[in-house]
Amino acid sequence: MQKLEKQAGKLILEDNSVFCGYFFGAKKPAAGEVVFNTGMVGYPESLTDPSYKGQILVLTYPLIGNYGIPGYDREDGLLKYFQSESVQVEGLIIADCSFEYSHWNAKKSLPAWLAEYNIPGIYGIDTRKLTKKLRKKGTMLGKIVYDGKDIEFADQNKTNLVKEVSIKTPIEYKKGRKRIVLIDCGTKNNIIGAFIKRNITVIRCPWDHDFSKDKTDGIVISSGPGDPKMCQATVENIRKSLKKNIPILGICLGSQILGLAAGANTYKLKYGHRSQNQPCIEKGTKKCYITAQNHGYAVDSKTLSGDWKEWFYNNNDGTNEGIFHKSKPFFGTQFHPEASPGPDDTEFLFDKLLKVIR
């Protein structure tokens, strides 16, 4: 497999700084919020995570694409090696791209896969310098410029990204007798798979679906992209559910939505948490879990009412990583217990929900 002729491309940030490199994947302009992920592996899972919708992703690991892209095998109706049905990022920025790959399960190269989904990438970028800028100044808007074709900066956090990535009509994954409603705010396939393998039937619903009349033993609010305050229909539906005793688990964006429904506030982090190596402390204990994360917003734990408590916090910056109700079966985590990619150290949280399902 030969590397194609180099074609120059640029990443331009809203502060007018320019990073030059070469195109791979689709050759087209793109715009979005520029964010970075410090994980060493897991690019097929990360690139198909709907939480990256509206974002240009910078991968800090210096070599990307060396193990290629797996095939489209399915299990229980879900793509086995990806977290959604398509590549979700607006664009990809890396230091070095492997046009040749080697892995027993690989079917194609990363450049070929991105081209298939019409997603542009740029390699040859000094991602260390770029990441240091984003850490210092905070997440910025950016645009990928190709062949002199410019494009406007786009702050997609001002739109309802969840509406774009959520399903339109309910889907049932029939398994066991117990049933949960999964509110799809941009769910990852592995969240669904975590319940299927526990013999739980999953009713996957659109983000604004009124599930108050649905027969369910529990509610899960999925992860997803953007500002949780854009999901007012979901917040209101959860607020109504809090008046009942149906167990609720919120994951990432879902935890933020749960916090808003409980009366707390959320805010935008300076540059977010995106990696598979975030240390989280369970408050009141000496337990530290290494977790997978992908979010740019957080619950302000100081705004929680007296019925709620902070459950976990991030050991790097002290921000909230989980909340729970003192007496009712409602809880959420900012990190991803389903991993994919990342460690599955906190997968026990799914079992915690099942224990309180009657």
CA distance 235 to 263: 10
Segment 290-313 mean pLDDT: 97
- Average pLDDT score, the chain: 96
Q: Residue 221 pairs with which residues in a beta bridge? A: 183, 250
CA distance 166 to 162: 6
Return the pLDDT at 156. 87
Asked if the model's pLDDT at residue 270 lies above 70, the reply is: yes
> Alpha helices of the chain — where are they, by DSSP H?
43-47, 110-116, 127-137, 161-165, 189-196, 232-241, 253-261, 348-356
Asked if the model's pLDDT at residue 4 lies above 70, the reply is: no
Segment 215-227 mean pLDDT: 96
The ranges of the chain annotated as CATH 3.50.30.20 are: 8-158
Q: Does domain 8-158 have CATH number 3.50.30.20?
A: yes
User: How do residues 167-192 score in pLDDT, each as one tens digit?
Assistant: 999 999 999 999 999 999 999 999 99
- Residue 100 annotated in active site: no
| CB-count exposure of residue 18 (10 Å: 0-12, 13-18, 19+) | exposed
The ranges of the chain annotated as CATH 3.40.50.880 are: 161-356
User: How do residues 37-68 score in pLDDT, each as one tens digit?
Assistant: 999 999 999 999 999 999 999 999 999 999 99
Q: Is the dihedral of CA 116, 160, 350, 301 positive or negative?
A: positive
- Residue 236 annotated in active site: no
User: Tokens 């007018």 belong to which residue?
Assistant: 16
pTM: 0.96
Asked if the model's pLDDT at residue 2 lies above 80, the reply is: no
Asked if the model's pLDDT at residue 264 lies above 90, the reply is: yes
Q: What residues contact 92, with CB distance under 8 A and at least 6 apart?
A: 25, 47, 56, 57, 59, 114, 119, 120, 121, 122
Choice among 252, 273, 280, 325 that is catalytic: 252
- Residue 338 annotated in active site: yes
Asked if the model's pLDDT at residue 1 lies above 60, the reply is: no
Query: How is domain 161-356 classified at the architecture level of CATH?
Result: 3-Layer(aba) Sandwich (3.40)
Q: Are 30 and 143 in contact (CB under 8 A)?
A: yes
To 10 degrees, the CA torsion angle through 106, 112, 113, 119?
Answer: 160
